[in-house]
Amino acid sequence: MTKVNLLTKNVVCYIGSECRSKREMPSLYPHAKGILSALQDKGVDVAIASRSPTADIAKTFLDKLGIKSMFVAQEIFSSWTHKTEHFQRINRRTGVPYKAMLFFDDEDRNIEAVTKMGVTSILVGDGVNLGAFRQGLVEFSRNFASSENKRK
């Protein structure tokens, strides 16, 4: 299975696919395309943070889905590196501070590791839907406001 995590400047999304070969047609979770389009319309930069044994298939999926151009950074590793490495690279490439990121993922260990970096992180079971997205925005707003108040 190839999974692709989508990270944005202020929001991170998770999409998945059961496709196992470049010949198959991948599919997005039901709300993923709408969320991505809304983020793009609002000028939110989106990046991918994905760890996959088949990085080449993940990249092919993005082309087939017609969403590859929506991302300012694509950190898709075929090795099983820590998710923190993806975020470090995205931070260096975009200049977006960790506290200004919101991340959705289906693995507890990724949520825990990235949260320690200062990223607002939301555990999702079956991709990002509108409910999870709203929850993420609420938690992000609270965490971001809290970090700004600490600076004052």
Domains and CATH numbers, the chain: 2-151 (3.40.50.1000)
Per-residue pLDDT reduced to its tens digit, 95-107: 999 999 989 888 8
- Considering the chain, what is the average pLDDT of its residues? 80
Res. 8 pLDDT band, cuts 50 70 90: very low
Is residue 44 exposed (0-12), middle (13-18) or buried (19+ Cβ within 10 Å)?
middle
Going through the chain in order, the beta strands assigned E by DSSP cover 2-8, 12-17, 46-51, 71-77, 102-105, 120-123
72 vs 20, more confident: 72
pLDDT confidence of residue 109:
93
Res. 21 pLDDT band, cuts 50 70 90: low
- Does 10 have pLDDT greater than 50? no
C-alpha dihedral sign at 68, 71, 74, 75:
negative
